[in-house]
Amino acid sequence: MFSNLSAGALGLPLVHTTAIDLAAAHGFGGVDPDPEYFRSLGSTGAVAEHAAEVRERGLEWGMAGLPVPLDAPAARFREALVDLPAALELLQAAGVTRVGTWIRPMHDSLDHRQNWRLHAGRLSLVAELLADAGLRLGLEYIGPKTFWSTERFPFIHGLREARELIADSGATNVGLILDSYHWYTAGESAEDLAGLTDADIVSVDINDARDDRERDEQQDLDRRLPYATGVIDLAGFMAAVHTAGYTGPVKVEPFMKELAEQPVDEVLADISARLDRAVAGE
């Protein structure tokens, strides 16, 4: 696995080329691809050239966002499918292999069974289109009760159900985005991660939680940097990720606005060190 600079996940408004420079400067192993930047290059040839340069700097690609809203109304979902090949062509040209999205853990009108069928059907279709383009899809389940309990019908908010949804899709190119914050807020343990293999994981996020809140009071968008509070058992989490033989990106997504107000080099040096610790498995 490798540490990955995801400026978006850090809330840092970096342009793509700057992010690459900073990723290289601070010793990250990878950087997130930027589909908008790829598009701006004007041709798949130019994208491939750009990607070659990034590789030459020792950086792998992290994960791009899935450009299809899985649970949108059918008309909007269809439109996203219309546009999909152009997006996939750029990602393929760049050699990106991972895209990801998250599962909204509740719905106000679709109950669990209805929402499951919606997701399973859409997921199966999208996964096959991604597979045709050599891409894997990561799905992130969302753990905080303060989020999934806010609408009438709670939906997937734990690992087991996320894995069953993936199995139900019949796709072999779909896996998890494992985020220690969701794993913790979902009340899961290292044991729940047993049996996972590299094929089951598309991306890994490490975050810590506030130490002045109980588990069920934690907010999805108010987290702490990994190893900051020790609320989350990151050692146990990362040990399981290592045991799984995971080979992909590890990033931080703390939803801490103050990061954007600090000197970027300080922030990235800190983040890089924290990720190195996780990747080393200490």
Candidates 42, 56, 113, 212: give the one binding a second copy (CB under 8 A): 113
Indicate whether 112 belongs to the interface with a second copy (CB under 8 A).
yes
Of 188, 179, 186, the C-alpha closest to 208 is 179
Residues facing 3 on adjacent strands: 250
- Which among 143, 126, 154, 138 is positioned nearest to 181, based on CA atoms? 143
How many residues of this chain bind a second copy (CB under 8 A)? Answer: 37
Q: How far is CA 147 from CA 107, 135, 185, 219, 276, in A?
A: 11, 30, 11, 7, 30
In 3D space, the residue among 142, 140, 203, 199 whose CA is nearest the CA of residue 171 turns out to be 199
- Span of 16-24, 42-50, 67-75, 234-242 interacting with a second copy by CB under 8 A: 67-75
Q: Considering the rule CB under 8 A, would residue 91 count as an interface residue with a second copy?
A: no
Q: List C-alpha distances in Å: 278 to 58, 80, 116, 183, 196.
A: 19, 36, 33, 16, 18
DSSP lists the bridge partners of residue 174 as 137
Work out the number of other CB atoms within 10 angstroms of the CB of residue 88.
20
Closer of 113 and 261 to a second copy (Cβ): 113
Q: How far is the CB of 245 from a second copy (least distance, A)?
A: 14
State in angstroms the smallest separation of the CB of 169 from a second copy: 8
Judged by CB under 8 A, does residue 120 bind a second copy? yes
Q: By CB under 8 A, is residue 245 in contact with a second copy?
A: no
Is residue 129 close enough to count as binding a second copy by CB under 8 A?
Answer: yes
Judged by CB under 8 A, which stretch of 33-41, 75-83, 200-208, 220-228 contacts a second copy? 75-83
Q: Which residues contact a second copy by CB under 8 A? A: 73-75, 77-78, 81-82, 84, 111-114, 116-118, 120-122, 124-125, 128-129, 132, 149, 152-154, 158, 160-161, 164, 167-170, 186-187
